[in-house]
Structure 1
């Protein structure tokens, strides 16, 4: 997952046409409009499913006003997540792009879902901000989960907001 995130969201994004070409080269299956609408909350964008062995990852491209690339997957185990592969991908990117700062991690539980988030961000010279995020969600009490909730248990996100 971290390798795909590095390739798609750190090395190819924000050039949308290059991300489209990468997904074609990978033989990714485009998502239907309604499959994209659920995770993007109605914001414009497109997405693909990328098969890698027995695992399928979802790559989403969110179009402005929030320009973002994310890789999402479901985790089959509950417990502490090893973020070493994520950091191995993100740390070189952060080192080569000045101004990133880590924000305190966030842990919360709501509606039977436990969430852990880590964010690194920087201000852009022309205005706006660039964020790198990892968000891990785990259903801890399915009985308390809001009916109809569709959770994406793990996602890596690279977002650029120009403030326009």
Structure 2
């Protein structure tokens, strides 16, 4: 037993010595992870990862378009209202809408208000939107040709699980020429 113990101790010492010679330092307990840091958001939001991206979908054609809002959040959202407003330019008529979240979780309306088609998705009380990337799309016919979308706007009002609330808004801009 004494010989076995001495042999094991000798092998461990040689291993440590070999490690010290190869790396120039004695082996330590291994890397220590730094505590996570949190960068404050530039605008109030339920979390620093909440953001939106709005674009007129390139899959449209000379008479039909789809304006798509992508909302990304990294924490659960307990209240959400998304509104897309399409300016009533010549020939604009609503043709539909969709989102990629469970249909039963939202009340959805499409109305006309003050010269705009207004598509609104409201999360039902007691429902939660999981962290992730979520799409909301408004579809409409328009006069033939490329339709400028600079007067089309969106607003997303989010409430986080901690009760923090933020409003994200912007425009859809002009789509690429078709």
TM-score by length of 2: 0.27
In terms of fraction of residues, the more helix-rich structure is 1
User: Which of the two has higher C-alpha Rg?
Assistant: 2
Kindly indicate whether structure 1 or structure 2 has the higher relative contact order, using CA contacts under 8 Å at least 6 residues apart.
Answer: 2
In terms of fraction of residues, the more strand-rich structure is 2
TM-score by length of 1: 0.28
